Amino acid sequence: MDWIASQLDQEHVKLWLSIGWSVYIVVVSVWILLQRSQPVATLSWLLSMAALPVVGLVVYYYFGPQRMKRQRIKRLRSRKRSRLRASTQRIRERLPQDYVRLHQVAQLVAAASEFPVCSATGMRLLVGGAATFDAITEAVRAATHHVHLEYYIYEPDVTGTALRDLLAEKARQGVQVRLLVDALGSKKLGRKFLKPLLDAGAEVARFHDAKIGRRLRPVINFRTHRKILVCDGKVGFTGGVNVTDEENERICADAYHDVHLQMEGAIVGWLQTVFMEDWAYANDHNPRQLPEKLEEWLPDCDDGNKLMQVVTSGPDNRLDAIYRAYLAAINAAEKRIWLTTPYFVPTEAALAALTNASLRGVDVRILVPKKSDSALVTAAARSYFDELIRCGVRVYEYEASMLHSKTLAVDDNLAIIGTANFDYRSFFLNYEVCVMGYGPDLNQALAQQFLADLKNSLAVPYKSEKRFFRRVFDSAARLTSPLL
């Protein structure tokens, strides 16, 4: 009888476990489905939850996709747009009238990110961290009213210390210095390091504190990956270079290879708007953090002859503007698509756009690092190479150092440079900023740099020989690509 009772108890336990498992799967499935993420990402998370019922739930809660509800400072964009409406119309009229697709791309970007086509009086492509930090130092030294910085990574190393000391010097001179850093990417930036800057009167804020307990649901994934520097509202910088010795070839022999963009003119006002919104958000929407007179931060600038457009995206914008901008640019190509990215983890739509372009005769080339700083991302990227090459796309691996540039040159009149990688995280999770260039100026600069970088690269052969376990690892990494 005892044996029978024991068996009955075990059956009851199994029954309740089965019921609990079924309820868990239903609840978790509904939760994940309501996030309305990419179908592949949704399926990946569902499989993970099923395989790891408790651990997977915790991981999804902290690291899974979310949508941020962030109130933009609408008055900034509306007032800035009204001040530039006349010049915007003049600039739009200068776009090549015979290139309808260029107009369509510009219109799409404006609708998705709310930034109109603007112009720059000056533009300079900065190659390498040393050239970038030299230009930044020069611009900061010349600032007379304010210096605004927003960085994903700001390290307390030699490069970071030199910039900190310069910023402190400018703050003591009466220049308003505001530094916004990502709490996770710049986690090494402690009070001791920041003290000279704060003592000089500068202001420092952190974007999305990632410590558990600071929020009901920590925003581990939602980082500001933006790199922005604005001086006096007239000179601006953005691109891939962070403030760290790892990107300064004068200090680090194998520094990351990267590019940055310096701009002057009206386009800087829109870069400034991005910073202002992020600054106010990081400071809990404190209205005192913004000037009553926008002219203090958004001075009037003359129209230039270089047509440009700022585009941003982040989890607070369901239109995924940068992702749409890349797809629109690729689909608009008639001659060439030259893409440089350190992390290549395309969506199915992006992969189809690249292969379709190649199949219709467009010169499609993709440049990635031979070895990135993430083995999993490198493996995932390589899993796409054979499919790309089979469709005529030429894939190259940069060998000189870690390639960190994020650029796209399409035909002769369209270009993109900024902070966004060609992957899920940049397209759908991080706060990113890019600059679109219409016309030959930015396009030629990026195309020339692309060709220069190819000299330090090797073409990836079709079905390159790999060991069995390497092929398995690459394929497994591809399955996790929506989660990277």
Taking alpha carbons only, the member of 245, 247, 246, 227 closest to residue 237 is: 227
Concerning whether 411 is annotated as a catalytic residue, the answer is yes
Q: Is position 466 annotated as part of the catalytic site?
A: no
Catalytic site residue from 80, 170, 260, 404: 404
pLDDT at 482 over 70: no
Q: What is the CA radius of gyration of the chain?
A: 24
Predicted confidence at residue 429, as pLDDT, reads: 87
What is the rounded distance in angstroms from the CA atom of residue 16 to the CA atom of residue 279? 51
Q: Is 406 a catalytic residue?
A: yes
Per-residue pLDDT reduced to its tens digit, 163-197: 999 999 999 999 999 999 999 999 999 999 999 99
Q: According to the model, what pLDDT value does residue 132 have? A: 98
β-bridge partners, 182: 207
Give the pLDDT of residue 215. 46
Write the pLDDT tens digit of every residue in 317-329: 889 999 999 999 9
Instruction: Kindly report the number of other CB atoms within 10 A of residue 215's CB atom.
Output: 12
Residue 107: enclosing H or E segment and its boundaries? helix 100-113
Q: Residue 78, exposed/middle/buried by CB under 10 A (0-12, 13-18, 19+)?
A: exposed
Average pLDDT rounded to a whole number, residues 294-302: 79
**What pLDDT shows up at residue 213?**
46
Residue 285: active-site member: no
Max mean pLDDT among 31-45, 259-273, 376-390 falls in 259-273
Percent of the chain with pLDDT over 90: 58
Q: Look up the CATH superfamily of 119-304.
A: Endonuclease Chain A (3.30.870.10)
The answer to which of 84-88, 242-246, 424-428 has the lowest mean pLDDT is 84-88
d(CA 195, CA 203): 11
Which pLDDT score is estimated for 383? 84
- The runs of H, that is alpha helices, within 333-371 are 348-359
Check residue 465 and give its pLDDT: 58
Three-state DSSP state, 125 = strand
For residue 195, indicate whether it is catalytic: no
Q: How far apart are the C-alpha atoms of 79 and 73, rounded to whole Å?
A: 11
CB 235: neighbour CB atoms within 10 A? 23
227 is catalytic: yes
Work out the pLDDT band at 40, boundaries 50, 70, 90: low
Options 2.60.40.10, 3.30.870.10, 3.30.70.20, 3.60.15.10; CATH for 321-483 is 3.30.870.10
Confidence of residue 285 (pLDDT cuts 50, 70, 90): low
The pLDDT-based confidence of 263 (bands split at 50, 70, 90) is very high
pLDDT(87) > 80: no
Distance, in Å, from the CA atom of 197 to the CA atom of 159, rounded to the nearest integer, reads 15
Of the listed 182, 406, 453, 474, which one is catalytic?
406
Poorest-confidence range of 109-118, 128-137, 280-289, 324-333? 280-289
Query: Does residue 205 surpass a pLDDT of 50?
Result: yes
Question: Helix (H, G, I), strand (E, B), or coil: what is residue 166?
Answer: helix
- Beta strand extents in 81-175 (DSSP E only): 118-120, 122-127, 146-151
Count CB neighbours of 409 within 10 A: 29
Report CA 370 to chain centroid distance, whole Å: 21
How high is the mean pLDDT of the chain?
82
Q: Which of 182, 303, 411, 441 is catalytic?
A: 411
Q: Give the pLDDT score at 82.
A: 47
pTM for the complete prediction?
0.83
Out of 80, 148, 227, 260, which one is annotated catalytic?
A: 227
Using alpha carbons only, give the angle 56, 60, 64 rounded to the nearest 5 degrees: 150
- Are residues 247 and 155 in contact, defined by beta-carbon separation less than 8 angstroms? no
Residue 114: pLDDT band with limits 50, 70, 90: confident
pLDDT digits (tens, 9 = 90+) for 403-432: 999 999 999 999 999 999 999 889 998 999
Write out pLDDT tens, residues 94-107: 666 546 788 889 99
Give kind and range of the element (H or E) at residue 192.
Answer: helix 191-199
Q: Which of the residues 232, 278, 441, 453 is marked catalytic?
A: 232
Per cent of the chain over pLDDT 70 is 70
From the candidates 80, 148, 170, 225, which is the catalytic residue? Answer: 225
